[in-house]
Structure 1
Amino acid sequence: MHIEQTLIKAIQAATASYSEEIEIELEQPAQLTHGDYSTNIAMKLARVARKNPFEIAIVLQEKLEEMELPVGKIDVVRPGFINFFVSWDDVIFTNVSDYDISGEKQKVVIEHTSINPNKSAHIGHLRNACIGDTLARLLKKTGAQVEVHNYIDDLGNQLADTLTALLHTESTEPAERFGDYCWDIYSALNEKYESGEVTTSIRDDVLHKLEEGNNSTAWLGYAVADKLSSEHVEEMRQFGISYDLLVWERDILQKGFWQEAFSKLKQTDVFFKQEQGPQAGCWVIRTDDSTDGIGESEHLADKVLIRSNGVLTYTAKDIAYHMWKYGLLEGDFTYKQKIGELWTTSVWC
């Protein structure tokens, strides 16, 4: 982070007369009353200088206050902590006003929110959307050409669960929105999973049909995902959060992005079909040369791109999507206007 690097360099300059070999550490205090950042450098220097750490901290405070730092206040707390209180308004608006927008605008793509289209949004989704929207607004203020994407995972386990719930459960609870109804049946489905009344193999079959496309299950999935995503977009709009483009995961498969990415991956030494062990029959990507790809690890599933039953993992589709972003694939999405300035990817325009 720029602020951390700035503070570390300043502390290095202020402590040069004591020692240049002491490692400088900044931490974020657990309590806001102790500042945004804190360092114990004075206590480390005390062992070298053979002085009281509090006295050293006071001297360092005076030196640091003479520098132009992005902080509003520097406090010293016994036995020798130096606490920094960042002037966030000055940091943000000074940098924005100093930004040179006379040249060609830089294009920036920000992808945020990306709620699974399986039920209504919750407060955690709003938090992430607020962070993404804030970044987009700040970058627009600097003069950048910002394009906000909302990636819709309409081929994942979550949507498959909701479809399974629609087909195998009911709810009599009153619901104002379709997403609220989906919350109820989603919970009911998990209870049926636990009791064995409905097996996850049904969900797996739904997921497989979603990926195949052009069948009754897939078309139902499209309708459900479209409805829920429209509710999400409308909910965020009430908070002033908007998007430029909705990217549908189904379009990544329909446009052949994954097939092209799959062909390119097979030309590398790190992507192969596992023949033995717990991943037998899976196509995996090796991310650590120290493993043979068949050992037990809590992160093992993240390396699987195609499961033994032929279903793609989210990692596989993400790889294809990001290869498209970086211009590594020949194809492109087709687009259509959805509402106002909101556009969406679409196989059929």
Structure 2
Amino acid sequence: MFLRLMEEVTRVLGDYGDERFLRESEHADLASTIAFRLAKERKKSPKEIADEIVENLEVDSDYIGSVESKNGYINFFASYEFLEDTVNVILDEDENYGDLNLKGEILIEHTSANPDGPLHIGHIRNSIIGDTLARIFTKAGFSVRTHYYVNDMGRQTAITVLGIEKFGLKDKKTDHAVAEAYIEANKLLESNSELEEYVEKLMLAYELGDEEAVKKFRRAVEAALKGIRETLKAINVEHDEFVWESEFVRNGYVDRVLEVLDERGLIKKDGAWIIELEGFDKEVVIRRENGTTLYITRDLAYHLWKNENYKRFINVLGADHKLYGAQLSRILELINLKPPEIIFFEFVSLPEGSMSTRRGKFISADELIEKVKEETWKIISSKEIDEEEKRKIAEAVAIGAIRFDFIKIAPEKHMTFDWNKALDFERQTASYIQYSHARACSILRKAVEDGMPELEFKGELCTSGERKLVMLLSKMPYMVKRVVEELRPNVFAEYLLSVAGAFNDFYRDHPVLRAESEIRMHRLAIVDATRIVLRNSLELLGIEPLEKM
């Protein structure tokens, strides 16, 4: 609905109606800064220009209640009719509220961790960003596919194969078993350098499609992926497809991309094949002397395939891949292919001393998930509710805590995950939002039990607190649109916190069930509209909207 208000304001402003100069404002429902843009050109103050525009404005919109000029800003205030339509549209559309009905196909590649062990806490930041984007793009109306790009041809995978050959796989979660084999193989290589040649032979044999080598690599990679899938499922992340990079060697895409690069005169052949990129210190090797290709070669082939099948494709990568991402994008541009839109995210740490790093090694995502579940159970276990329901609530709160804390920080910022803060029901956390949703559900249940389920919102009855909340509810589709355009899912998390905060302020200051009939029906409509927005929004973040807590 807020998008409709923006359209109306743009229309009413006529020649001055430029969306680029519309802003959300603390002092109005919507403000135009166009006067500041015109000040230099017209040699007048922004205040004078804004005064002139407002004086000559013909407001013929049911959704605009009033307009004022204030210190160069043109401030617009929504009408009672806008508020009423907002609540009624939310109640009518229910689970469909927030849909934008946009069209198109989108490919989102995320996680794509090497299949040589379990995911660590940095990997799941990637997963949660990618999965949340996929959910929001789907809500916007796009047909979305998610890919996990499997690096099955790298040196690390060959070392893993060696480790499994020498030491086998222990009886434990398969990705952890693979990691142990990989670690033992690395130790073996340190003391037996002659095995380096064997690793090189493994890589070459697999690239050439040797049947025995393919079996060995497949066994190692599939064992790692089995465990990785289990971890991802635990945090409500699923991929539509796991795309193996070897496919692009087998299906001819690698040969095709090498041919194009060669035709453009971009390859320098001196034993190894390299590309020298202007503006980059390091040259890019795309084929080794022994004829095997590199990760970037296969990734170029993958992006040739992406160009042929999608108009828009997005990659989520760690900040340590910025150079790689720039090189990949530049080479694609040199052969007239569209580079991916890349979201780079910074690293994740834990409060010092919060978890043992097991002799300096990384913290696996599995360890973190288990620890957060344990801490959640300590909080939930004392509550006097059914044991099975208590378990379900604890699980939903734990996963919500992880997903929300990982998404609420802008991707370009380093984050520290502290479960004590993430599980605080009084702070800006997922559990705070889940509790707000449960509170709304409880109010509505009690209204039905008391025989007072009727809802009827009236704009003219709104207090300032109610008006603030309804205006926030109107912005959910607008926030979906912002994420689609900006690729910053954290703005949606921030929005959801503001809705929960405004609702709890409303609950504190406005009796609902004890109010007289007209006010009660008005406020119950606000509660139900808030419930719908909280539920739909939590689902977009991959968090379960609990009805009881």
Query: Which category of TM-score, normalised to the shorter sequence, fits these structures?
Result: 0.5 to 0.7
* AA aligned opposite 1:324: W
Q: How does 1:7-86 map to 2 (within 5 A)?
A: none
* AA aligned opposite 1:203: V
Cα pair distance change 1:15/1:182, threshold 3 Å: same
Correspondence for 1:270: 266
Cα pair distance change 1:5/1:130, threshold 3 Å: farther
Cα pair distance change 1:181/1:98, threshold 3 Å: closer
Correspondence for 1:243: 239
* AA aligned opposite 1:285: I
Correspondence for 1:321: 302
Correspondence for 1:166: 164
Per-residue deviation, 1:198: 5.5
- Give the SS at the match of 2:247: helix
Q: Deviations over 1:16-58 (max 9, x none)?
A: 979xxxxxxxxxxxxxxxxxxxxxxxxxxxxxxxxxxxxxxxx
1:130 aligns with 2:116: no
Q: How does 1:224-263 map to 2 (within 5 A)?
A: 224-263=220-259
- Give the SS at the match of 2:146: strand
Report the Cα distance in structure 1 between the residues aligned to 2:268 and 2:128, rounded to whole angstroms: 40
* AA aligned opposite 1:265: L
Q: Deviations over 1:301-346 (max 9, x none)?
A: xx11101111101111011111111129xxxxxxxxxxxxxxxxxx
Q: Which of structures 1 and 2 has the larger relative contact order (alpha carbons within 8 angstroms, sep 6+)?
A: 2
- Give the SS at the match of 1:151: strand
Which of 180, 183, 198 matches 1:184? 180
- Give the SS at the match of 2:189: helix
Q: How does 1:281-300 map to 2 (within 5 A)?
A: 281-288=271-278, 297=281, 299-300=282-283
Cα pair distance change 1:190/1:108, threshold 3 Å: same
Cα pair distance change 1:142/1:266, threshold 3 Å: same
Report the Cα distance in structure 2 between the residues aligned to 1:195 and 1:5, rounded to whole angstroms: 65
Per-residue deviation, 1:224: 1.8
- Give the SS at the match of 1:266: helix
Correspondence for 1:150: 148
* AA aligned opposite 1:147: R
Which of 107, 110, 118 matches 1:109? 107
* AA aligned opposite 1:178: T
1:193 aligns with 2:189: yes
- Structure 1: 5+ residue stretches without partners: 19-61, 69-95, 275-280, 292-296, 329-349
Q: TM-score, normalised by structure 2?
A: 0.39
Report the Cα distance in structure 2 between the residues aligned to 1:236 and 1:150, rounded to whole angstroms: 11
Which of the two has greater helix per residue?
2
- Give the SS at the match of 2:263: coil
Cα pair distance change 1:207/1:64, threshold 3 Å: farther
Report the Cα distance in structure 2 between the residues aligned to 1:195 and 1:6, rounded to whole angstroms: 65
- Give the SS at the match of 2:223: helix
Which of 268, 292, 307 matches 2:288? 307
Which of 211, 214, 225 matches 1:218? 214
Is the radius of gyration larger for structure 1 or structure 2?
2
* AA aligned opposite 1:250: S
Report the Cα distance in structure 2 between the residues aligned to 1:164 and 1:63, rounded to whole angstroms: 71
Please tell me whether the aligned partners of residues 149 and 243 of structure 2 are also in contact (alpha carbons under 8 angstroms).
yes
Q: Deviations over 1:63-121 (max 9, x none)?
A: 699768xxxxxxxxxxxxxxxxxxxxxxxxxxx977741x6x21111111112122222
Identity across the alignment (%):
26
* AA aligned opposite 2:302: Y
* AA aligned opposite 1:305: I
Please tell me whether the aligned partners of residues 254 and 298 of structure 2 are also in contact (alpha carbons under 8 angstroms).
yes
Please tell me whether the aligned partners of residues 158 and 199 of structure 2 are also in contact (alpha carbons under 8 angstroms).
yes
Equivalent residue pairs, number: 238
Report the Cα distance in structure 2 between the residues aligned to 1:141 and 1:324, rounded to whole angstroms: 26
Per-residue deviation, 1:164: 1.5
* AA aligned opposite 1:310: G
Per-residue deviation, 1:286: 2.8
Please tell me whether the aligned partners of residues 178 and 220 of structure 2 are also in contact (alpha carbons under 8 angstroms).
no
Report the Cα distance in structure 1 between the residues aligned to 2:266 and 2:146, rounded to whole angstroms: 33
Cα pair distance change 1:323/1:133, threshold 3 Å: same
Q: How does 1:87-106 map to 2 (within 5 A)?
A: 100-101=100-101, 105-106=103-104
Please tell me whether the aligned partners of residues 14 and 63 of structure 1 are also in contact (alpha carbons under 8 angstroms).
no
- Give the SS at the match of 1:213: coil
Please tell me whether the aligned partners of residues 106 and 142 of structure 2 are also in contact (alpha carbons under 8 angstroms).
yes
Please tell me whether the aligned partners of residues 97 and 142 of structure 1 are also in contact (alpha carbons under 8 angstroms).
no
Report the Cα distance in structure 2 between the residues aligned to 1:285 and 1:209, rounded to whole angstroms: 25
Range moving further from structure 2, 196-205 or 131-140 = 196-205
Q: Deviations over 1:146-188 (max 9, x none)?
A: 11111111111121110111223468xx642222122222222
* AA aligned opposite 1:146: V
Correspondence for 2:499: none
- Give the SS at the match of 1:326: helix
Please tell me whether the aligned partners of residues 154 and 250 of structure 1 are also in contact (alpha carbons under 8 angstroms).
yes
Cα pair distance change 1:126/1:267, threshold 3 Å: same
Q: TM-score, normalised by structure 1?
A: 0.59
